[in-house]
Amino acid sequence: MKTINVPIPGKEYNVHVHSGILFDIDKYIDVNKQIVIITDDFIPKIYLNTILNKIINPLIIEVPMGEDSKSISQVTYIINTMIENKITRSCLVLALGGGVIGDLAGFVASIYFRGVDYIQIPTTLLSQIDSSIGGKVGINSENMKNAIGSFYQPKMVIIDPNTLNTLSIKQKNNGVAELIKYGLIADKSLFEDVCNKDIWSNIEHYITRSIEIKRDYVIDDEHDNGKRQILNFGHTIGHAIEQFSKYSLLHGEAVAIGMLAMAKDTKYHIQLQNCLAKFDLLKTY
In the complex, least distance from residue 96 CB atom to ligand NAD, rounded to whole angstroms:
9
Nearer to ligand NAD, 126 or 158 (CB): 126
How long, in residues, is the chain?
Answer: 285
In the complex, least distance from residue 258 CB atom to ligand NAD, rounded to whole angstroms:
13
Amino acid type, 224:
D
SS3 state of residue 118? strand
In the complex, least distance from residue 171 CB atom to ligand NAD, rounded to whole angstroms:
5
**Closest residue by Cα to residue 283 from 174, 131, 166:** 174
176 HSE (CA, 13 A, CB side): 27
CA distance 5 to 270: 36
Tell me the CA end-to-end span of the chain in Å, nearest whole number: 39
In the complex, least distance from residue 265 CB atom to ligand NAD, rounded to whole angstroms:
26
Nearer to ligand NAD, 42 or 285 (CB): 42
In the complex, least distance from residue 83 CB atom to ligand NAD, rounded to whole angstroms:
25
CA distance 190 to 187: 5
Site residues for ligand NAD per CB under 6 A? 40, 42-44, 65-67, 70, 97-101, 103, 123-124, 126-127, 130-131, 134, 136, 146, 163, 166-167, 171, 174, 251
Nearer to ligand NAD, 91 or 104 (CB): 104
Nearer to ligand NAD, 74 or 163 (CB): 163
Nearer to ligand NAD, 44 or 115 (CB): 44
CA distance 15 to 60: 23
Nearer to ligand NAD, 19 or 146 (CB): 146
In the complex, least distance from residue 216 CB atom to ligand NAD, rounded to whole angstroms:
15
What count of other Cβ atoms lies within 10 Å of the Cβ of residue 238?
Answer: 25
Give me the phi and psi of 225, to 5 degrees please.
-100, -10
SS3 state of residue 100? helix
CA distance 152 to 117: 10
